[in-house]
Structure 1
């Protein structure tokens, strides 16, 4: 029962921030890169999803201004996901809930 309650609280926290689980995971991957930016191919491989799947997730986050999708300076055919201040704030908020719950 506790696990179910925790999951419900976690899902609610994601919804309050306008995020899905996949969106939250994407923000987490990008936030942990040194530049808070990462190539789409790297993020897709890290999350174990295809580039088209990642593009769908990233496009929604870009529309919500959680990230920006930019052309890679080194390879114009590639795209880079850049974490925005709104995305960083949403990520911190959800992670704070996790820390409170997990100790």
Structure 2
């Protein structure tokens, strides 16, 4: 049976135990956009993009709230709230593309 990024085999051995084997057929990184791969199908590009997006949003919040004397830590927390399920995470396509369940 093929599910998602790999192959799953489910069987019962001689003793009646359920055996589940998962073979991951995907690499952590893509061959590249120019080679026809979607970078968001692989974990490494998603992770790098997530880190860059978190940094960008927290810096943007800091830039906007700096005139009132807000600390960087508070701006990072507010950026996390904006990107999390309380903010942009409510948008289903955003959540599934940038923060996939896998």
Both structures adopt the same fold (TM-score exceeding 0.5)? no
- Structure 1-normalised TM-score? 0.28
Structure with higher Rg: it is: 2
User: What TM-score results when the alignment is normalised by the length of structure 2?
Assistant: 0.29
Q: Which has the higher contact order (CA 8 A, sep 6+)?
A: 1
